[in-house]
Amino acid sequence: MPKDQFPKGDPFHLLEGRDGFHVVQSEIGHILMLSVIAYQGGEPYNMVDDDPNNTSVELLDLSHPTPQERGECERLRLVMDAVCRYFTTGGTWEKFGEALMVARTVIKGGLNFEGYHLSQSYSTTEGDYQHIFVKTGTEEVALWNEPEISDSGLPLGGWIMSTTLPALLKEQENDETSRGPESEETGRTGLRGAIQPPRGDRI
């Protein structure tokens, strides 16, 4: 896109589509890392001080991560992705901190999934958000499809089903070649490529 769409002085005049803050999950060998990177002018940029090397910060650096640690990384990636988007769109630490304090009124802590660990969370091509919880030491899975929240605040839809890792991967293979009929049990049309084989879990 041309860079002169906005006049000088306009806040969008020098912005690139890649600018802002982004969370990056990477894996090199046996090291799993989660970082936040700041961009300006389409390139990594230090927005805090004059050190050109301080364009990113590591949130996690795990050696030989366990499936449980991978789940923790996945959770942190989800929330930091939202946090980065909040600040990229102009958010402030003051308002963010106030919202967190108020939210603690109803959020006392995370839900308890004893015996399971989070393996993956992803958005499907239908726009739903799904979470894969693996029963530790097995191939048994709880697949959770979040509901859509209506304008009135009421959750619409949403379901949790028991399945297995092989069954999920088989469904993905089928969806890559055909949309397939809608499931009578769940009312969904499949994952269509959303699932990647969960690393660290049995398949």
Per residue in 146-180, pLDDT (tens digit) is 998 888 888 888 999 999 999 988 887 776 654 44
Percent of the chain with pLDDT over 70: 84
- For the chain, the average pLDDT equals 84
Within a domain: 200: no
Per-residue pLDDT, 188: 39
Full domain range(s) for residue 169? 111-195
Last residue of a domain, one of 109, 134, 150: 109
- Look at 187 and 127; give whichever has higher pLDDT: 127
Note whether 186 and 161 are within 8 A (CB): yes
Pair 94, 115 in one domain: no
Per-residue pLDDT, 190: 42
- Look at 106 and 3; give whichever has higher pLDDT: 106
Pair 79, 120 in one domain: no
The number of folded domains in the chain is 2
Pair 115, 93 in one domain: no
Last residue of a domain, one of 76, 109, 142: 109
Within a domain: 52: yes
Within a domain: 158: yes
Pair 75, 46 in one domain: yes
Pair 116, 62 in one domain: no
Per-residue pLDDT, 2: 62
Cβ within 8 Å of residue 154, ≥6 positions away = none
Pair 116, 180 in one domain: yes
Q: Is the pLDDT of residue 39 over 70?
A: yes
Q: Is the pLDDT of residue 5 over 70?
A: yes
Q: What is this structure's pTM?
A: 0.77
Pair 53, 33 in one domain: yes
Q: Is the pLDDT of residue 189 over 90?
A: no
Least confident residue range of 36-40, 48-52, 145-149, 153-157: 48-52
Within a domain: 2: no
Instruction: Tell me the mean pLDDT in the region 9-20.
Output: 90
Beta bridge partners of 35: 24, 58
Per-residue pLDDT, 177: 55
Pair 161, 79 in one domain: no
Q: Is the pLDDT of residue 3 over 80?
A: no
Residue 92 CA to residue 104 CA, distance in Å, equals 19
Last residue of a domain, one of 109, 127, 157: 109
Residue 152 CA to residue 172 CA, distance in Å, equals 34
Within a domain: 135: yes
Pair 12, 105 in one domain: yes
Within a domain: 41: yes
Pair 115, 90 in one domain: no
Q: Which of the four pLDDT bands, split at 50, 70 and 90, describes residue 4?
A: confident
